[in-house]
Each structure stands twice: as structure tokens, then as C-alpha cells.
Chains A and B, each alone.
Chain A
Amino acid sequence: MNCQKIQQLLLADYPDGEVSERIKHEVEGHLDLCCACRQFERAVQDAAIRPFKQARRIRPPDEVWNKLKEAIASEEQAAGAGFLANIWDVVQSIFSNPKLAFTILIMAIASLAIMVIAMDVHLNNQRVVKNSAHIEQPIRQVKYLSEIIGVSEYPSDDEPSDDKYDSHDGYGTAIEEYFL
């Protein structure tokens, strides 16, 4: 490698540890022999690399946190108003379309009926369970039924509902890897 090539490497790659062992040795061999490149390397270090090594981390003034809190509070307010407005728009558009309104009404009645049936089965099973503690099969069925129709009174076995934070085993594996 000639001096020009060496000096390109001294500006980037070599000082950043981004060269192979072979190139690194070649550069070092050249620096041992070439005074001009040695001086160039020292100049790069003095002017462009070493001054940043002692840069300190600086905390923002306290007022940044106070302003941030205010900004978030007003964002939340705006977001809340926007959310309600959106719901109102959806409701209005539904009732301006008779076909859609009718479909939704039928669906609501149907799901209400399924829920009533499920509740009934549920109550019957509770009685059965009281009489005989060994019968588990019907409960599973009702659990399954209630899960399908979205009735969440049966917490599922593998998902305890009391502690949301610790139950998320699968949360962000990459993040977990990072923090472990």
C-alpha cells in the first residue's frame, strides 16, 4: 500500500477498529517505517479523535421534565377527545345506513341469546360441581364455549389474571435478550 492508501485508512476504518488483522499489521508496519504517515496519524488523533474521548454525559435542566409532563397531559386530552369523536362518527355512520344498522341489531340479539344460554349452562354446571366434585368435563366445555363467544368470566388456566406484568412470558424476546 502506498502512503495515500494508508492515510485513507488512518482517517476511517483503522482508528475505528474496522480493519482485518492482516490490514492492521500492514498499516502498523508502514507506520514503523514512514515518518509522514506517522505524523498524519498523530494529527488525525489530535484533531479529530482524542478530543471526543472525554466528552461527558450531561443531564437536561429540570424544566424539561416539567414541560414534558404538561405536553403529555395536553396530548392525552386531545387524544381522548379525538377518540370520543371517532366513536360518535362511527355510530352516526351506522345509523345513517339502515341495512348496516339492521345487521348489527340482529348480531347483537344473537350474541345476547348465546350469552344467556351459556350463563344457563354455567349455572347448571355449578350445581353439578357442588354435587360431585369429580365432574370436570362440562366445565371445560363451557370454558371453551365462553371463550368462543368472548365471555371472560372463566380465567383460562395458563393466564392468571391477577398479575399482568409477570404473566407476559413471551413479551418482546429481543428486549428480553437485551436486558438479560
Chain B
Amino acid sequence: MWLNFKLEEQLKEIPKHILLRASLGDAEAFEIIYQLASGFVYSIALRITNNPEDAQDVTQDVFIKIYKNLKNFKFFSSFKTWVYRITVNTALNACREISRQISQRADHDSLASHQGEGDSMMEIAAERADHERLIMDLLAVLNPDQRACIVLREIEGLNYREISEVLNININTVRSRLKRAREALLAYRKSEVMKDELPKDTAVAVSRLP
């Protein structure tokens, strides 16, 4: 279930002739692309939506877009950037749609508690390491735009210029979103420390935060 490998290797393994064949409508070639890239797409979608069901829907949408537009992909700087862009944008749109639905229902539950529901959540929770739980909790503190920046920076390892290209925002916006996100995570950690009384030295360090 868990695959722990780097995207770079994963996407570079899609041979050019496979992309070409898929762009000409070859279903078998498209399935190979799916097998090679779906872990990458799903992981990003999962981190940004922070919800397995939404991430599945986003993954499906992303691959439909890839299928329909593959014949145009030579116009983009790279396949990787192209797939990043489709994935992140589709995931962010899904987040907007979800928050719209939630506000329409006048449901004041936070996004995090909303995400606690659902069967697939329970399935994943059963096999998820504590660390996965922590990552989801931390991402739930952030808004979707901040999540996208954190995911691309921390998990995908993109630099500011690459993030700005994927999200189509300027570098100063990347910087300020990362700053806000980290401030929010620090504040969250501070509140957790106060609740749980973590080891003394960490508590001292956090209590001195501005």
C-alpha cells in the first residue's frame, strides 16, 4: 500500500514513446502512465484536500484531463510541471467546492472535523502510521492555498520559482504563504504543547515564541 519512492525517478520512467502513444489514443499506453504517475497525483491531491475521498475524485479528474490534453503537452515546459499544475489546480478547486458546499449547508464544523467522517477514512486510519496522522493534523491547520505551497515545498521539494510556476503566482506570494503557514503551524504546536506538556526543553523554546 505505501510506496516510498521519489517522484523524479517515478515520472522519468515514463518513456517518451509511451507518452506519444497515449497522446494518439492508445489505451494501453495510457494505463502505463496511470500506473507510473497515479501515486504521485493521488499523494499531492490527498495532502491538499486532506481527505481520501476527495483525493480519489481529484485523481480521476486529473487523469481525464491528462487523457484529453496529452496531445498538447509538448507545448508545456515539462510533463512533470504540467501534471503538477493540473493536479494542484484540480485539488484546490475541489477544496473551494467543498468549502462552498459546507457554507451552503450552514455547517459550522471545521474542515478537519468534517474530514473525520467517512468509511474510507476509517480504512486508511486503520493502517496509517502515527506519522501520517500527524501530517494530516498539521495540514488541517492550514488553508488550501497554504497547503499547496507547503506540499510543493516540503514534500515535493520544489524551489520558490518552481512553486510560483506551478501555482501561477509570484515568488513573493509563495514566500508570504509559506511564512503564514509556518506561523500557523507554530501557533498550533504552541497550543498542543500547552495541552499535552511536552518535554521541558521544547516547552521552554515554544513558550518564548513571539
Contact = CB atoms under 8 A, between A and B. Distances in A.
Interface of A: 7-8, 11-13, 16-18, 36, 39-40, 42-44, 46-49, 51-61, 63-65, 67-68, 71-72, 75, 164-166, 168, 171-179
B84 interface: no
Contacts of B131: 51, 54
A64 B59 contact: yes
Nearest to A10: B182
A68 B64 contact: yes
Contacts, number: 158
Which interface class (under 10, 10 to 19, 20 to 34, 35 or more) fits B? Answer: 35 or more
Nearest to A58: B43
Given A44-B186, A174-B76, A56 B60 contact: no
A8 B38 contact: no
A55 B42 contact: no
A51 B38 contact: no
A64 B42 contact: yes
Majority secondary structure, A binding face: helix
A51 B181 contact: no
B38 A59 contact: yes
Contacts of B86: none
B200 interface: no
B112 interface: no
A165 B20 contact: yes
Contact of A60 (B56, B153, B205): B56
A67 B63 CA distance: 11
B78 A49 contact: no
Given A60-B59, A64-B60, 17 more contacts: A12-B175, A16-B160, A17-B159, A39-B208, A43-B202, A43-B209, A48-B182, A52-B138, A55-B154, A58-B46, A59-B38, A60-B38, A61-B56, A64-B42, A72-B64, A168-B20, A175-B19
A75 B185 CA distance: 42
24 contacts: A12-B176, A12-B182, A16-B178, A17-B159, A18-B159, A40-B205, A40-B209, A46-B202, A48-B186, A51-B138, A55-B43, A56-B43, A57-B4, A57-B7, A58-B1, A58-B39, A60-B39, A60-B59, A64-B60, A75-B68, A164-B24, A168-B20, A173-B74, A175-B73
Given A46-B189, A60-B56, A64-B38, A171 B20 contact: yes
Contacts of B19: 175
Contact of A18 (B12, B134, B160, B204): B160
B125 interface: no
Interface in B30-65: 31, 34, 38-43, 46-47, 55-56, 59-60, 63-64
Interface of B: 1-5, 7, 10, 12, 15-17, 19-21, 24, 31, 34, 38-43, 46-47, 55-56, 59-60, 63-64, 67-68, 73-80, 120, 131-132, 134-135, 138, 150, 153-155, 159-160, 175-176, 178-179, 181-183, 185-186, 188-189, 202, 204-206, 208-210
Nearest to A59: B39
A165 to B, nearest CB: 5
A55 B19 CA distance: 28
Contacts of A178: 77-80
A174 B138 CA distance: 37
Nearest to B78: A178
Nearest to B6: A57
Contacts of B182: 11-12, 44, 47-49
